[in-house]
Structure 1
């Protein structure tokens, strides 16, 4: 497989065929993100992608999921995406689901009919990085999307039939706006009603603007307790009608897996126990990206 540079994929895609259809991210300027510092955005040529699909056809017959890398696969032209999905259906008929990252800008470029067409061709899951529901935090982080715009595009993805998985980042607002970030993120998630929420804890990446702000003292990162207080505030505000809430990424201090709304009370009790020192937290040295 032709995998160029650092390849990022969601934890739940660990067992998937990683098919790199593009490089980097169309924006690539979020202050906190160091995922694609090694490569500018580019669309990979059809011959290379086709060769990788042929490789998977010969070597990956037991793998039933495909993840389209890199960070912005939905920004590919519609005909190009349809061609890739059609080729996956033809050459990898045992694959039951294709997934990709999708941001608000990429989704906005697709009509409702085009999104439904991608769904019929096998694209089943879209991962969206909300990061925060607080527009002040989004602007400071140079996200280039407002919370409302991400709600609108997330709702369109759900209406088209996609399983929507939304990522949020604890600690992203720093100490100063920590609770505002938590409350606004819960409010926006309630409007969006994704199928799954994945909460990560911010880890500063050298070489990013946010890391430089932290070094200069401009940005103050919440400590472990601050991260837990923020996470508890977020969970307390969530009113998901049906969905999975995960905070079991390697970056998190306390693993959380909750089916909402059923497990909300149990999750809040666990977070309270951790804040009271009754549950051990992950040591700093074991946290990772």
Structure 2
């Protein structure tokens, strides 16, 4: 298998074959993200991708899950994406699911009918980075999306019968917009009603505009307990049908996993327990936090 640069995948794709079909991220302008700054976005040639599929087949023909990297493989046109999906499906008879990152633009470039075609070829889950339900914060971090558009993108994924997994980012509004960011994000999660929602916490990546803003004093990262307060506000304002919510990523100080709304009150009580005691021993140590 050939990989260029660092490879990123969702935690739930830990057991998947990682197939790099694009290099880098098609947007790559978010101020908080340093994941793909060393890569210029491009699409790999189908011949190269096919060779990797055949190599994987030779060594592990019973692969059940495949994840398409890099940052936004869904940006590929149907003409380029469908042959890749078909090749994967042909190579792995035990295949259960293909996962893929998507952003608002790449999803909206496809109709519900086109997304259904992807589902028929194995795409079972799309990971969408929402980051915040506060438009002020999204503009501040140069996300390049509007909330109404993201809501429409989320709806198309669900209408196509594909699992929708979204991520949000605690601390992204800084201390100044902490409560607003948390409340509005909870409300937005309620609006799009995802199947899965994951909350990560801001970690400053050296060289990113956000890290430079902290150096200049124009952005202040919330403290660990302020981040927990954000988490509580977010969950309190999240009213969904049936969503698995997790903040157990390595970037978080307190791992939380809960089905909402079923375990909402129990989860809020657990967070409040930590907030009331402010015992550092109850938090993930700083040295163990990572992206």
Asked if the contact 1:17–1:60 (Cα under 8 Å) also holds between the matched residues in 2, the reply is no
Match of residue 280, structure 1, among 264, 279, 282: 282
- Residue 171 of structure 2 corresponds to 171
TM-score, L = length of structure 2: 0.98
Distance in 2 (CA, whole Å) between partners of 1:213 and 1:201 is 17
- Residue 225 of structure 1 corresponds to 225
- Residue 109 of structure 1 corresponds to 109
1:192-249, CA deviations, whole angstroms, 9 ceiling, x for partnerless residues? 0000000000001011110100111110000101000000000011111101000000
- Residue 79 of structure 1 corresponds to 79
Gaps (5+ residues) in structure 2? none
Distance in 2 (CA, whole Å) between partners of 1:109 and 1:262 is 35
Distance in 2 (CA, whole Å) between partners of 1:232 and 1:12 is 24
- Residue 198 of structure 2 corresponds to 198
Deviation of residue 37 (structure 1)?
1.1
Deviation of residue 60 (structure 1)?
2.1
Runs of 4+ in structure 1 off by over 6 angstroms are none
**Correspondence 1:187 to 2:222:** no
- Residue 11 of structure 1 corresponds to 11
- Residue 266 of structure 2 corresponds to 266
TM-score, L = length of structure 1: 0.98
Trace 1:1-289 onto structure 2 (pairs within 5 A). Answer: 1-277=1-277, 280-289=282-291
Deviation of residue 62 (structure 1)?
4.1
1:127-161, CA deviations, whole angstroms, 9 ceiling, x for partnerless residues? 00000000000000000001121111001111011
Report the secondary structure of 1:276's partner residue. helix
Distance in 1 (CA, whole Å) between partners of 2:290 and 2:61 is 31
Gaps (5+ residues) in structure 1? none
1:9-67, CA deviations, whole angstroms, 9 ceiling, x for partnerless residues? 11111111000000111110000011101101100001110011001111123431100
1:99-148, CA deviations, whole angstroms, 9 ceiling, x for partnerless residues? 00000100111122111111111101000000000000000000000112
Distance in 1 (CA, whole Å) between partners of 2:274 and 2:63 is 38
Asked if the contact 2:62–2:93 (Cα under 8 Å) also holds between the matched residues in 1, the reply is no
Report the secondary structure of 1:3's partner residue. coil
Distance in 2 (CA, whole Å) between partners of 1:242 and 1:62 is 32
